[in-house]
Amino acid sequence: MPGRAVSMSPSRLWSRIGKRRTVGLALACVLIAACSVYSMIVLRDLRRANGWVEHTRQVMVALYEARGAIRNAEIAQRDFLGTGDEQFLTVYRHAGAEAAAALSRVAGLVVDDPGQQRRFTGLTADVAVGLARLGDGIAARQAAGPSAITPEELASRRAATEQIMVDIADMQAEEARLLQARQADAVRNAAWAQNPLILGTLGSVVLIVLIFRLMLTEAAVREQHARDGTAELGHAIQALRQRSVELRGREEQLRVLIEATPAAIVMFDRAMRYLAVSQRYRDDYCLGAQPLIGRSLYDVFPEIPQARRDVHVRCLAGATEHAEEEELPRPDGSIDWLRWEIRPWHDGDGAIGGIVVFTEVITARKRAEQVLAASEAQLRQAQKMEAIGQLTGGIAHDFNNMLGVIIGNIEFLQDTIDGNPEQAALTSEILNVALGGAELTRRLLTIARKQTVTPGAIALGVYLPNVVALLRRTLGDAIHISVIVADDLWPAWADQAQVGEALLNLAINARDAMPQGGMLLIEASNAHLDETYAAEHLEVVPADYVMVSVTDSGHGMPPEVLERAMEPFYTTKDTTLGTGLGLSMVYGFAKQSGGHIKIYSEVGRGTTVRLYLPCAVGDAAGQPDAPAGAEPPRGTASILVVDDNVPMGEVARRHLTALGYTVTLVEGGPAAMVLLESGRTFDMLLTDVSMPDGVTGYDLAELAVGLRPGLKVLLTTGYAGALGSSGSDGRHGTSYPLLRKPYRRQELAAQMRKVLDSRT
């Protein structure tokens, strides 16, 4: 009935309690079992997710190593192209091997991802092209030297490398996306694993407490079950802690990898506050150990110009910018060169979190490129001067033969017109003009470095005072001449007459640069041109030299004039005041002597010309030989005269016949060889050096001496050509006396007598 209490017997109550206890136990077992199964499933998924995270990190590390190795290979290749230093090839090959190993690891890691496989296929193709172009550049540099490298080829190889970097960045971006997604899965699985365990444990504890009141034995079972769940949870937490340690180890590996790269790396947030800084960045920008993290870039470097700040703004908006070359002023006033790149980085949500700056000091490469450019300019100038020398040498050679005929015939005319003063005056005038032409050709041959020279040891301390006395008479009183000679001056090895002529030409140029008068200083000292100087001046051989400098206080030369100062016939004077051959002759003399010439000049501050002459070994001469007598010596010997220029040969024949010799004239080397091989004997052979038909005067002399040992030989030539000053072409050790064309009867007679009277 309503409102009436229902009574229950104790046995029925215990029976109901027993049923509830059984139901409670059953529910507890089901709950605990469900939580355990669920936790095991989630833990398995957690381990799988962590495995994919690790797999993605391995792909990213391999890509990063490949990127760094390829970049190192490019840098080593550029360094080798700029310097030619073989040690950069070792770096290049090592970097190529590292790149191949890293790409091999990437290939094995992306087999599970078709998209990455397609990207990796494109990457390997671009890497093959890029490394092939780098290798082609090295081969070209080894085969043809610095001139084989063009800016277009450098740009092409750099573009190929940049395409590789783009391919790698594309794969890294995909792996970064996968890493983000897989890390999220791992975190989510960890949360799902932890919460059910905790919930199941708490539920088990509550049920155990309730059931404990009913049955202590069931409470013991529940308690043991709870301990097992707690232990499993502890293992999961320990696994998470171990994974955290491993991740920190990976971060340390990445840090070491970053520090080992040749570029300085720094990361900023959107407010341009430092987030990470490499040690190379601190070193390159002289930051030392000062704290940077959290500070603003513009507080550390307040002098950053607005243009660079604008670059930061554009990169924070998503742009990527770079510069291949940029000056970096140092606190000590020096200048370094940088190559930099700035790109944004993204956070876990894909938003731009800030920028990453990569900078590399390329001063060594820049200086190597500058040295290479200077060397190329010097090579072009040397080639131009060589071409001019070849042209002037050929002209002078032919002109000497013409002048020889003119001078010889004029001398014959003078012998026949002693009783006619008017004709004698005319022939003397013609002779003087011809001798002037001979002097001009001698200058041209000096420029061409084919002038016959007679080098010897010169004591400039003795010789210079005589030259200065001549210069004082030539330059006049308006120019004050000073001479400084080092006490321990070495003897120089050169043609003494040409040294005097070179100094005279330099002094006359100095006089013309000082129309109102001024100071002229001549110095002689010892000098050493080392390997560094020789590397900047291609024609210089590192050695000890005797340096003679001529310095004036004149108006100086602007750069455009200085660049062409030693070209033949180039002059800034009026055509009536100079031919433009002075400095050209000095240049040719220096080169033919094995020396070097250098000009320093500034507008309004004067000019210094430094002439470097080789050092002599042995005693030095201070005075020239005494002049020959006026009466030409005579003789009766039998002479074979050989010259492919018939008029010049006739002049020699007539001169020698007038001097009493028996002369046989032959045109060209082949005819002379036939005559010598026929058995004809002669006391002396007088032959031109440069002849056609493949037989030179030297070849003819070798044949004649071979047929008749002891035969006297005198060579004659309009230019030295391949012969040295002693008449040797360098193919054999034998040398012969040499007479320079055009010659006068007196010179021919004296040289003939000297050769015939010699013992050898």
Give the 3-state secondary structure of 458-502: ECHHHHHHHHHHHHHHHHCCCEEEEEEECCCCCCEEECHHHHHHH
Contacts of 330 (CB under 8 A, 6+ apart): 286, 336
Separation of alpha carbons 734 and 728, rounded Å: 7
The stretch 280-306 carries a mean pLDDT of: 87
What confidence score (pLDDT) does residue 730 get?
41
d(CA 428, CA 632): 19
pLDDT band per the 50, 70, 90 thresholds, residue 158: confident
Which band of pLDDT confidence, cut at 50, 70 and 90, is reported for residue 238? confident
Q: Sorting pLDDT into bands at 50, 70 and 90, what band is 621?
A: very low
- Higher model confidence: residue 245 or residue 726? 245
Helical H runs in 324-482? 363-416, 421-447, 460-475
Pick from 230-234, 536-540, 652-656: least confident: 536-540
Which is more confidently placed, 191 or 519?
A: 519
3-state secondary structure of 663: strand
Tell me which of 3.40.640.10, 3.30.565.10, 3.30.70.270, 1.10.1060.10 is the CATH number of domain 456-614: 3.30.565.10
At residue 721, the pLDDT reads: 46
Tokens 């059953």 belong to 26
Overall average pLDDT of the 91-103 stretch:
86
Q: Would you say 197 and 43 are in contact if contact means Cβ atoms under 8 Å apart?
A: no
Structural contact between residues 688 and 366, judged by C-beta atoms closer than 8 angstroms: no
Q: Note the pLDDT of residue 640.
A: 92
Among 254, 298, 582, residue whose Cα is nearest residue 447: 582
**Average pLDDT across the chain, whole number:** 77
Q: 138-148, pLDDT tens digit by residue?
A: 887 777 777 66
Query: Helix crossing, 114-144 with 151-214: angle to 10°?
Result: 150
pLDDT of residue 208: 64
Residue 624 has pLDDT above 60, yes or no: no
Cross-strand bridge partners of residue 640:
664, 685
Band of residue 449 on the pLDDT scale cut at 50, 70, 90: very low
H or E stretch at 220: helix 216-260
Q: Which of 490, 501, 499 is nearest to 459 (CA)?
A: 490
671-676 long-range Cβ contacts below 8 angstroms, 24+ apart:
671/642, 672/640, 672/642, 672/700, 673/700, 673/703, 675/640, 676/640, 676/700, 676/703, 676/704, 676/707
Mean pLDDT value of segment 250-279:
77
Residue 255 DSSP SS3: helix
Fold annotation for 638-757: Rossmann fold (3.40.50)
**What does each C-alpha distance from 472 to 194, 697, 756 come to in angstroms?**
107, 44, 42
**458 vs 418 pLDDT, higher one:** 458
Q: pLDDT of 170-184, one tens digit each? A: 888 888 888 888 778
pLDDT reported for residue 714 = 92
- Asked if the model's pLDDT at residue 188 lies above 70, the reply is yes
SS3 call for 35: helix
Identify the residue with better confidence: 741 or 397: 741
Q: How many residues does the chain have?
A: 760
Please state the three-class secondary structure of 746-759 as a single string: HHHHHHHHHHHHCC
Mean predicted confidence (pLDDT) in 446-455:
53
- Could you tell me whether strands 638-642 and 684-688 are parallel, antiparallel, or unpaired per DSSP bridges? parallel
Per DSSP, 146 falls in state G
**pLDDT grade for 722, boundaries at 50, 70 and 90:** very low
Pick the CATH number of 264-361 from 1.10.275.10, 3.40.190.10, 3.30.450.20, 2.60.40.650: 3.30.450.20
Residue 665 pLDDT level (bands cut at 50, 70, 90)? very high
Q: What is the mean pLDDT of residues 231-260?
A: 71
Residue 526 vs residues 463, 487, 491, 500, 597: alpha-carbon distances, Å: 16, 10, 9, 19, 15
* 435 CB-near residues (< 8 Å, 6+ apart): 407
pLDDT digits (tens, 9 = 90+) for 52-77: 888 888 888 888 888 888 888 888 87
Give the Cα separation of 298 and 275 in Å (integer).
14
SS3 (DSSP) at 269: strand
Whether pLDDT at 3 is above 60:
no
